[in-house]
Amino acid sequence: MASIEDVARATGVSTATVSRALRGLASVAEPTRARVQLAAQSLGYVPSAAAASLASGRTKAVGLLTPHVSRWFFAVCIETVEAVLRTHGYDVLLVQLPPGGRTTPGPSRTLPPSRPMLSADLLRKRVDATIVLTLPLVPEELTVLQALGHELVYVGGTVPGLRSVGIDDVAVGRSATEHLLGLGHTDVAYVGASLSPGDWAPPQERYRGYRQAMTAAGLEPGEALVADLTVADGRRTVRELLRRGTLPGALVCACDELAIGVLHELRQAGVDVPGQVSVIGVDDHPHAELHDLTTISQPVAEQAETATRWVMEGLRPGARAGGTEPAPRSERMPTRLVLRRSTGPAQARAT
Amino acid sequence: MASIEDVARATGVSTATVSRALRGLASVAEPTRARVQLAAQSLGYVPSAAAASLASGRTKAVGLLTPHVSRWFFAVCIETVEAVLRTHGYDVLLVQLPPGGRTTPGPSRTLPPSRPMLSADLLRKRVDATIVLTLPLVPEELTVLQALGHELVYVGGTVPGLRSVGIDDVAVGRSATEHLLGLGHTDVAYVGASLSPGDWAPPQERYRGYRQAMTAAGLEPGEALVADLTVADGRRTVRELLRRGTLPGALVCACDELAIGVLHELRQAGVDVPGQVSVIGVDDHPHAELHDLTTISQPVAEQAETATRWVMEGLRPGARAGGTEPAPRSERMPTRLVLRRSTGPAQARAT
DNA sequence: CTGTTAGCGCATTCAG
DNA sequence: CTGAATGCGCTAACAG
């Protein structure tokens, strides 16, 4: 385990110079730096992150708070954040925080139905900044996070007072609904917003967009069909609708996974899509095309990349120095209707 | 930023006692511990991971090396490892290392076709143990990893000299093939093994199993159809087979994603599955059922959980103390044929 | 441009 | 069971 002293001795300079040389600070003569680098290399010297962190007060790590790891949106975000951070020499501290009652991975163990309060202790003194992915934050948690006093960016939604990047979820809900209305549908329902407080914002916002579009068209918006966002939830919802005999002519789904479940169960029940029922999703999930799902696509990697870039900018030496608190920016990225064959003209239905 | 000294002062004990009390060491009187905990709590004291690490030589972090984040197998492993480690108070240091030439997430940038050598510098002095997920390791990289001198567990394959947990990939390939042979198929092909060296082991092993089964049945094993493991690769492979007019009667796919792509392209081309062609995959991916895909299921979360448990056991104070290097264990988990409707009896074909 | 000097905040001896 | 003293390996002033 070579230490900085070994390198200093081998090079005939002080440890301070070694430190400066290896970190690429300007104030080192090139020949000196070269010798130091050579010695470090040949000794296999790797700086101790712990020691550097203790001495400098910076950790060179960014916290990544997420409610899920394996769901598409989150997985892509994590992948992107990790890749970008690493090019900057930063580590990612992954913290998975269940959004609510759910089964943990592994042989059937369950967490209590209410998620434990987010404790900032997981992050304090361990990261220089934090990125939060679409985690439903209760006000108290937001306070706790802000109290950490470092860069904080939210991805996949909007949080008052926080810098955030995402899409315009209301507009997405509206566009999806308008697409169906434009096809002549009048009985359009929305699937995917659970109405309990503290729930995911995007589905709720998309539901708002749905209601706006319905109202603007002079139609009565329906109650949201409550469902979580997985394939299984989509299937369950359709089974329920079929059992009750209240299948609408068109369905706006909060996301593609859900829509794929809906589609599958409809087709399996012999319902013609889009002949009898039209279905639209949100995401443009990689599997959406396989199911011929019309959807509103959103750029996920780009959202994560922008958030990471903001964080890196804020961490650049000199930034935020003069008490220049960055204005809470909010960037909404473009979305786009992707036409496939799960939506079609409304049919005159037998009464 | 309360420090351990503040807590010591507030409690009227030494910092050493605070340290011992908060870490739950036995040698502290219960009343003392209670007072310390109370003070720590009310002061909002959180130990500095960096200082603790520097002083103790342990990092309370585990490295997680993975070639992908968003592909199903890896995402589930990451999710599981993170969850289990956190219950033990360990952090996960996620390191994504592209397996070879591939596009990085985000707006179209590409990595050089040959993956950069894994540098142990990313891990050295930063983690107490490492879990490697199905990363094709060249011998030199293996050496480098072992030189870290800490716990090392491999998930999703076998590496000589390394503790590993996975499935019996040869048996999986054999079972899948035997299933098709049992249905009377004789022209069975294998899709998914790229033959370049340093390539993923599981697809290669499954291919071996395929060949064993074919040979045992007195049939000539075919060359593997080269493909990566994504939906797009499956589709591309089928298009190619159709163009050449060499569609076999049955296909063993290296994994479900690939198989789903294969299935989709076949059905879209009007090929009857399983009437004209049977398809089987490996994984039991969550979407497999939607495509009616017959497959060999493997327990992914359980593999990750076992690996994590091994690591935690090795990190327990006292473990590995008496130079008791743990024997390189290898655990193979059970797999199981999941029958759906993508495989069926061989048909007499027109000549 | 480089060296000297102090800590950073804890865990761990070793005494009691 | 508890306290005092030591140092983990580095960075950040401050001098030169």
Q: Does B83 touch chain A (CB under 8 A)?
A: yes
Whether residue A179 is found in the same domain as residue A274: yes
User: Which residues from 300-329 of B have any strand C atom under 7 Å from their CB?
Assistant: none
The predicted structure's pLDDT at residue A196: 54
Checking phi first, is residue A57 left (phi over 0); if not, alpha (psi -120 to 50) or beta?
A: left
pLDDT digits (tens, 9 = 90+) for B29-64: 999 999 999 999 999 999 999 999 999 999 999 999
Whether residue B150 is found in the same domain as residue B220: no
Whether residue A158 is found in the same domain as residue A304: yes
| Chain position carrying tokens 């002062």 | B9
Say whether the CB atom of A32 is under 7 angstroms from strand C.
yes
Range of the domain at A48: 4-56
In tens digits, chain A (351 residues) has pLDDT values of 789 999 999 999 999 999 999 999 888 899 999 999 999 999 999 999 999 999 999 999 999 999 999 999 999 999 999 999 999 999 999 999 877 543 333 333 333 445 677 888 899 999 999 999 999 888 888 999 999 989 999 999 999 889 999 999 999 999 999 999 999 999 999 999 775 545 678 999 999 999 999 999 999 999 999 888 999 999 999 999 999 999 999 999 999 999 999 999 999 999 999 999 999 999 999 999 999 999 999 999 999 999 999 999 999 876 665 555 666 689 999 999 999 999 999 886 544
Nucleotide in closest CA–C1' contact with B28:
D1
Q: Does A305 touch chain B (CB under 8 A)?
A: yes
B109 pLDDT band (50/70/90 cuts)?
very low
Whether residue A175 is found in the same domain as residue A218: yes
Strands (DSSP E) contained in chain A are: 61-66, 91-96, 103-104, 109-110, 129-133, 151-155, 163-167, 188-191, 250-253, 278-283, 294-297, 330-333, 336-338
Judged by CB atoms closer than 8 Å, whether chains meet at A94 and B96 is answered as: no
Whether residue A98 is found in the same domain as residue A223: no
> C-alpha distances in angstroms, B246 versus B117, B189, B217?
39, 11, 22
- Candidates B270, B237, B154; CA nearest to B202 is B154
Whether residue A150 is found in the same domain as residue A267: no
Q: Does B22 touch chain A (CB under 8 A)?
A: no
Judged by CB atoms closer than 8 Å, whether chains meet at B92 and A94 is answered as: yes
How far apart (Å, rounded) are the C-alpha atoms in residues B67 and B97? 5
Out of A105, A121, A261, name the one closest to residue B301 (CB).
A105
Whether residue B78 is found in the same domain as residue B117: yes
Q: Does A111 touch chain B (CB under 8 A)?
A: no
| Cα of B65 vs its chain's centroid, Å | 9
Say whether the CB atom of B75 is under 7 angstroms from strand C.
no
Judged by CB atoms closer than 8 Å, whether chains meet at A105 and B78 is answered as: no
Say whether the CB atom of B138 is under 7 angstroms from strand C.
no
How far apart (Å, rounded) are the C-alpha atoms in residues B271 and A328? 55
C-alpha neighbours within 13 Å on the C-beta side of residue B263? 30
Residue B291 makes CB contacts below 8 A (sequence gap 6+) with: A290, B259, B260, B263, B264, B342
The predicted structure's pLDDT at residue B316: 83
Q: What is the CATH number of the domain that holds B325?
A: 3.40.50.2300
How far apart (Å, rounded) are the C-alpha atoms in residues A190 and A250? 9
Instruction: Output the DSSP codes for A274-312.
Output: TTT-EEEEEE--TTTGGGT-EEEE--HHHHHHHHHHHHH
Nucleotide in closest CA–C1' contact with A14:
C3
Say whether the CB atom of A235 is under 7 angstroms from strand C.
no
Whether residue A195 is found in the same domain as residue A153: no
Relative to beta strand A330-333, strand A163-167 is parallel
B27 pLDDT band (50/70/90 cuts)?
confident
Q: Could you tell me the distance in Å between the CA of residue A16 and the C1' of nucleotide C4?
A: 9
- Candidates A171, A260, A219; CA nearest to A346 is A219
Token output for A90: 């930063």
Judged by CB atoms closer than 8 Å, whether chains meet at B304 and A46 is answered as: no
The predicted structure's pLDDT at residue A102: 34
Out of B53, B106, B286, name the one closest to residue A231 (CB).
B286
- Residue B292's Cβ-count burial label (10 Å; 0-12, 13-18, 19+) is middle
How far apart (Å, rounded) are the C-alpha atoms in residues A28 and B251? 62
Out of B76, B124, B231, name the one closest to residue A70 (CB).
B76
Q: Which residue of A has its CA nearest to B70?
A: A75
Q: Could you tell me the distance in Å between the CA of residue A41 and the C1' of nucleotide D10?
A: 18
Boundary-marking domain end, from A56, A76, A92 = A56
How far apart (Å, rounded) are the C-alpha atoms in residues A169 and A158? 10
Name the packing angle between helices A300-315 and A72-87 (round to 10°). Answer: 40
Residue B269 identity (one-letter amino acid): A
Residue B205 identity (one-letter amino acid): E
Instruction: Output the DSSP codes for B226-279.
Output: P--SSHHHHHHHHHHHHHHT---SEEEESSHHHHHHHHHHHHHTT--TTTT-EE
Q: Does A96 touch chain B (CB under 8 A)?
A: yes
What is the CB neighbour count within 10 angstroms for residue A218?
Answer: 7
Alpha-carbon gap: A98 to the closest alpha carbon of chain B (Å): 10
Read off the DSSP letter of residue B120. Answer: G
What is the CB neighbour count within 10 angstroms for residue B338?
Answer: 16
The predicted structure's pLDDT at residue B114: 54
The predicted structure's pLDDT at residue A114: 55
Nucleotide in closest CA–C1' contact with A36:
C2
Q: Is the pLDDT of residue B314 over 70?
A: yes
Judged by CB atoms closer than 8 Å, whether chains meet at B107 and A301 is answered as: yes
Out of A79, A124, A302, name the one closest to residue B96 (CB).
A79
Q: Is the pLDDT of residue B106 over 50?
A: no
Nucleotides on strand D lying under 7 Å from protein C-beta: 1-5, 7-13
Helix (DSSP H) and strand (DSSP E) numbers for chain B: 11, 13
Q: What is the CATH number of the domain that holds B11?
A: 1.10.260.40
Whether residue B119 is found in the same domain as residue B216: no
Judged by CB atoms closer than 8 Å, whether chains meet at A70 and B78 is answered as: yes
pLDDT digits (tens, 9 = 90+) for B163-219: 999 999 999 999 999 999 999 999 999 999 775 545 678 999 999 999 999 999 999
Whether residue B155 is found in the same domain as residue B190: no
Whether residue A187 is found in the same domain as residue A310: no
Instruction: Output the DSSP codes for A228-241.
Output: -SSHHHHHHHHHHH
Element (H, E) at A15: helix A15-23
User: Which residues from 10-49 of B have any strand C atom under 7 Å from their CB?
Assistant: 15-16, 19-20, 22-23, 45-48
Whether residue A40 is found in the same domain as residue A145: no
Q: Does A76 touch chain B (CB under 8 A)?
A: yes
How far apart (Å, rounded) are the C-alpha atoms in residues A23 and A7? 14
Q: Does A82 touch chain B (CB under 8 A)?
A: yes
How far apart (Å, rounded) are the C-alpha atoms in residues B351 and B341? 26
Residues comprising chain B, all counted: 351
Whole-number mean pLDDT of chain B?
89
> What is the phi/psi pair of residue B226, to 5°?
-75, 130
Residues in A closer than 8 angstroms to B106, CB to CB, are: 80, 83-84, 301-302, 304-305
Residues in A closer than 8 angstroms to B53, CB to CB, are: 50
B residues 140..199 contacting A (CB < 8 A): none
Q: Does B111 touch chain A (CB under 8 A)?
A: no
Q: Does B302 touch chain A (CB under 8 A)?
A: yes
Say whether the CB atom of A48 is under 7 angstroms from strand C.
no
Q: Is the pLDDT of residue B322 over 70?
A: no
Residue B319 makes CB contacts below 8 A (sequence gap 6+) with: B313
**Are B249 and B186 a contacting pair, CB within 8 Å?**
yes
Checking phi first, is residue B328 left (phi over 0); if not, alpha (psi -120 to 50) or beta?
A: beta
Give the number of domains in chain B: 3
Q: Which residue of B has its CA nearest to A41?
A: B121
